[in-house]
């Protein structure tokens, strides 16, 4: 039946550090859904956090769940009411199914929907499985020359583009990014494509800074306990030739957040995209008195098309961003590798 086999293998998380590859019920689509045979899924920092601690953000693991939300694959079945997709279409999956009826959805801010059924969160299985069902309007057709690996990596790029949009990155801007993990590096790549003039990125690991320099950062700064927050702010200003117009906190370590608040130019923007502690001691008064706008960025909103176009046009090269490939059977190893910081982006390949 449309190339669909009877077995659906999935990476199922049962508890901290306990992920198993097992047979999972085959998704049954309704008239308004499509069934996708997954080809590739990227490992995200939130996958690692859920796997290693049993919780991430608002989610606390209470029952087994299929993980993964950076997916791409081929449509193998369509519901009777679906006209926008056909069997055989190659799609990058935007991992949300918002309610469409709440005030935030109606205002176009569906990323803030209180009931989003976000892929790989409680109440919504992930797509690190042979088959996955989704709503068609959040399945984005991929150009023929884009690989499935790139299609999977579009998801974190869409997060980075939303972050840069929220931060109001503009032509000629000085940008400081705190944290050279995948989202931080993609923010640097997106900021470069959006016209930023000088980009600096910080991290505690030299290898990640080397990757960031190769992928889009002009300057890097290795931070350590020997470097005070004030010294780090001074060094950033020195390297950029002035305070950054935009600071992007992509790690949400308290030290990074405080440094970002101190160093951002008067009248500039501090955008926090990393998920950190619930409470942080910060220099709030001095930051607000300089009218630094402090903004948050959450998931994705209307940036998948832009991300796909940027990759398709060559404006952003995701092939260099993807560093490791593993089969589904090695998901546990892939999660450990992602946790180690030795990989920028790990892609899991599902069986043909």
CA-only gyration radius of the chain, Å: 20
Domain-embedded: residue 203: yes
294 torsion bin: left (phi>0), alpha (psi -120 to 50), beta (else):
beta
Please indicate, yes or no, whether residues 291 and 314 belong to a single structural domain of this protein: no
Domain-embedded: residue 43: yes
Q: How confident is the model at residue 297 (pLDDT cuts 50, 70, 90)?
A: very high
What is the Cα–Cα distance from 265 to 263, expressed in whole angstroms? 6
Higher pLDDT residue, 196 or 116? 196
Please indicate, yes or no, whether residues 186 and 325 belong to a single structural domain of this protein: no
Name residues whose C-beta falls within 8 Å of residue 119's C-beta, 6 or more positions apart in sequence.
68, 69, 71, 93, 95, 96, 125, 126, 127
pLDDT score, position 352: 81
pLDDT score, position 275: 78
The number of domains in the chain is 2
Q: What share of the chain is helix, strand, coil (3-state, %, to 5)?
A: 30, 25, 45
Please indicate, yes or no, whether residues 85 and 116 belong to a single structural domain of this protein: yes
Please indicate, yes or no, whether residues 43 and 152 belong to a single structural domain of this protein: yes
Please indicate, yes or no, whether residues 44 and 115 belong to a single structural domain of this protein: yes
pLDDT score, position 118: 92
Name residues whose C-beta falls within 8 Å of residue 258's C-beta, 6 or more positions apart in sequence.
229, 280, 281, 282, 283
Among 276, 296, 316, where does a domain finish?
296
Please indicate, yes or no, whether residues 48 and 152 belong to a single structural domain of this protein: yes
Name the least confident of 33-42, 49-58, 140-149, 282-291: 49-58
Please indicate, yes or no, whether residues 173 and 284 belong to a single structural domain of this protein: yes
Please indicate, yes or no, whether residues 82 and 103 belong to a single structural domain of this protein: yes
pLDDT score, position 60: 87
What's the chain's length in residues? 352
Domain-embedded: residue 163: no
Please indicate, yes or no, whether residues 82 and 174 belong to a single structural domain of this protein: no
pLDDT score, position 3: 61
Domain-embedded: residue 238: yes
Q: What is the pLDDT of residues 54-109, one digit of tens each?
A: 988 778 888 999 999 999 999 999 999 999 999 999 999 999 999 999 999 999 99
Domain-embedded: residue 184: yes
Please indicate, yes or no, whether residues 19 and 151 belong to a single structural domain of this protein: yes
The whole domain housing 260 covers 168-296
34-54 burial, b if ≥16 CB within 10 A, otherwise e?
bbbbbbbbbbbbbbbbbbeeb
Q: What is the pLDDT of residues 106-115, one digit of tens each?
A: 999 999 999 9
Q: What is the pLDDT of residues 252-276, one digit of tens each?
A: 899 999 999 999 999 999 999 977 7
Name the least confident of 113-122, 176-185, 226-235, 342-351: 113-122
Domain-embedded: residue 319: yes
Judge contact between 191 and 175, C-beta under 8 A.
Answer: yes
User: At 81, which CATH number?
Assistant: 3.90.180.10
Domain-embedded: residue 106: yes
User: At 250, which CATH number?
Assistant: 3.40.50.720
Domain-embedded: residue 126: yes
pLDDT score, position 1: 46
Please indicate, yes or no, whether residues 275 and 317 belong to a single structural domain of this protein: no
Please indicate, yes or no, whether residues 182 and 203 belong to a single structural domain of this protein: yes
- With a pLDDT cut of 70, the percent of the chain lying above it is 99
């Amino acid at each position: 039946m449309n190339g669909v086999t009877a077995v659906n293998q999935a990476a199922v998380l049962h508890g901290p550090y306990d992920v198993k590859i097992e047979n999972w019920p085959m998704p049954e689509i309704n008239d308004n859904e499509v069934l996708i045979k997954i080809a590739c899924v990227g490992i995200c920092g939130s996958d690692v956090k859920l796997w290693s601690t049993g919780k991430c953000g608002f989610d606390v693991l209470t029952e087994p769940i299929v993980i993964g939300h950076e997916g791409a694959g081929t449509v193998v079945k369509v519901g009777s009411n679906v006209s926008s997709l056909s069997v055989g279409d190659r799609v990058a999956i935007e991992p949300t199914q918002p309610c469409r009826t709440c005030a935030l959805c109606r205002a176009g801010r569906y990323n803030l929907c209180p009931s989003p059924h976000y892929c790989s969160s409680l109440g919504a299985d992930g797509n690190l499985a042979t088959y996955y069902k989704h709503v068609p309007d959040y399945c984005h057709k991929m150009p023929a020359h884009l690989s499935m690996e790139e299609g999977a990596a579009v998801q974190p790029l869409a997060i980075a583009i939303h972050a840069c949009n929220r931060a109001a990155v503009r032509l000629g801007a000085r940008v400081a990014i705190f944290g050279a993990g995948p989202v931080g590096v993609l923010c640097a790549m997106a900021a470069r494509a959006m016209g930023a003039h000088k980009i600096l990125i910080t991290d505690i690991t030299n290898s990640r800074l080397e990757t960031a320099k190769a992928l889009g950062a002009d300057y890097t700064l290795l931070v350590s306990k020997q470097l005070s927050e004030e010294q780090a702010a001074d060094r950033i200003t020195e390297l950029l030739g002035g305070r950054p117009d935009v600071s992007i906190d992509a790690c949400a370590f308290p030290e990074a957040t405080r440094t970002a608040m101190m160093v951002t130019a008067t009248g500039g923007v501090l955008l926090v995209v990393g998920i950190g502690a619930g409470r942080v001691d910060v220099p709030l008064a001095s930051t607000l008195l300089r009218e630094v706008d402090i903004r948050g960025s959450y998931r994705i909103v209307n940036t998948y098309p832009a991300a796909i176009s940027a990759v398709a046009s060559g404006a952003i090269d995701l092939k260099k961003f993807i560093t490791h490939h593993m089969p589904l059977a090695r998901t546990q190893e892939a999660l450990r590798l992602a946790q180690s910081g030795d990989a920028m982006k790990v892609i899991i390949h599902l069986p043909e």
